[in-house]
Amino acid sequence: MPEITRDESLDDLLSKIAEESGDWGPAAGDAEVQVGDHIRTFREERGLSLQQLAEKTGFSAALLSQIENRMTSPPLGTLVKIANALDTYVSSFIGKEEREFSIVRRQDRTTVSRVGMKEGGQSAYSYEALGAGKAGRRMEPFLVRLMPLIDRNVVRSSHDGEEFLYVLSGRVEVFLDKYSDLLGEGDCIYYNSTIPHHVHSAEEKEALILAVLYQGK
């Protein structure tokens, strides 16, 4: 997935991206996940400062502070890197694990994005966790709304694991190292997350995708 990179100048880019809107937004009453609060708790429990976590992840301490304080919502790839640095799983940041299976009703989907963010916070895209409640899960399924690309000079990011993307609506442009392609409704792609990558809506409107991430732990 698109990822905040270690280049601090991209912090400014994130702040320019408008908040999501449209029919696929979270319904009233959706559970709010304050990912930044969970990340801070894990970091403090491990006795790490922001600077130490920055050194382990490659992100700036300023960016990590923004994430913890809910001034920006971390993309999925960023959560993977932070989770690996803290020796935990992405699921630890998203929801309480309770049992060996999980059924998530449409009205109960957990949204990880603008909800739970402080006033003025914005995110590049929104995603809803579809596997919350499954104990010890290694895969993370999400419903993701991708926004159009604002700046063509994007930095492709990489992290451990694998990703599977299925386009539900709209058109999606995918960058994999030097390769690029367009995916339409019903198309899918499966790749190693270690390949420098970036995905976004290829049109002037959001695209909806099903994304399944394997963290690589």
Q: What is the DSSP string of 156-191?
A: PB--SSEEEEEEEES-EEEEETTEEEEE-TT-EEEE
Q: Which region holds residue 120: left if phi is over 0, alpha if psi is between -120 and 50, else beta? A: left
Segment 197-212 shows an average pLDDT of 92
Q: Is the pLDDT of residue 127 over 90?
A: no
pLDDT band for position 62 (50/70/90)? very high
What pLDDT, in 10s, does the model give residues 144-158? 988 887 766 677 788
For the stretch 43-49, contacts whose Cβ atoms lie closer than 8 Å and that sit 24 or more positions apart, written own/partner, are 43/68, 43/86, 46/86, 46/87, 48/86
| Dihedral Cα 204, 66, 55, 1, nearest 10 deg | -20
Segments making up each domain of the chain, as ranges: 18-214
Order across the sheet with 139-146: list the strands. 31-32, 110-112, 126-129, 139-146, 207-214, 162-169, 188-192
Which pLDDT band holds residue 118 (cuts at 50, 70, 90)?
A: very low
CATH class of the domain defined by 18-214: mainly beta
- What pLDDT was estimated at residue 14? 31
Tell me the backbone φ, ψ of residue 75, rounded to 5 degrees.
-60, 165
Report the percentage of the chain scoring pLDDT > 90: 36
Whole-number Å distance between alpha carbons of 126 and 142: 10
Give the separation between CA 68 and CA 202, rounded to whole angstroms.
30
